[in-house]
Amino acid sequence: MVDASEFIDEAVEEIREQIGDANAVIALSGGVDSSVAATLAYEAVGDQLTPVYVDTGLMRKGETQGIRETFDFMDSLRIVDATDRYFDALEGVIDPEEKRAVIGEEFIRVFEREARDVEADYLVQGTIYPDRIESEGNIKSHHNVGGLPEAVDFDGIVEPVRDLYKDEVREVARELGLEEVISERMPFPGPGLAVRVVGEVTREKAEVAREACHVVEEELEEYEPWQAFGAVIGKATGVKGDNRVHGWVVAIRSVESRDGMTARAQEIDWETLQRIQSRITGENENVARVVYDVTHKPPATIEYE
What does the pLDDT look like over 142-186, one tens digit per residue?
444 434 445 567 889 999 999 999 899 999 999 999 888 889 888
Start-to-end CA distance of the chain, whole Å, equals 30
What is the total residue count of the chain? Answer: 305
Predicted confidence band at 138 (pLDDT cuts at 50, 70, 90)? very low
User: Global pTM?
Assistant: 0.82
Cα–Cα dist 113/157, whole Å? 15
Q: How far apart are CA 171 and CA 218, in angstroms?
A: 24
pLDDT (tens digit per residue) in 80-96 = 999 999 999 999 999 99
Residue 134: predicted pLDDT: 59
| Residue of 91 and 29 predicted with greater confidence | 91
The radius of gyration computed from the CA coordinates of the chain, to the nearest angstrom, equals 19
Question: 99: number of CA atoms within 13 Å, CB side?
Answer: 24
Is residue 295 within 8 A of residue 288, CB to CB? The reply is no
- pLDDT category at 297 given cuts 50, 70, 90 is very high
Average pLDDT value for the chain: 90
Give the separation between CA 236 and CA 31, rounded to whole angstroms. Answer: 33
DSSP-derived secondary structure letter, 221: G
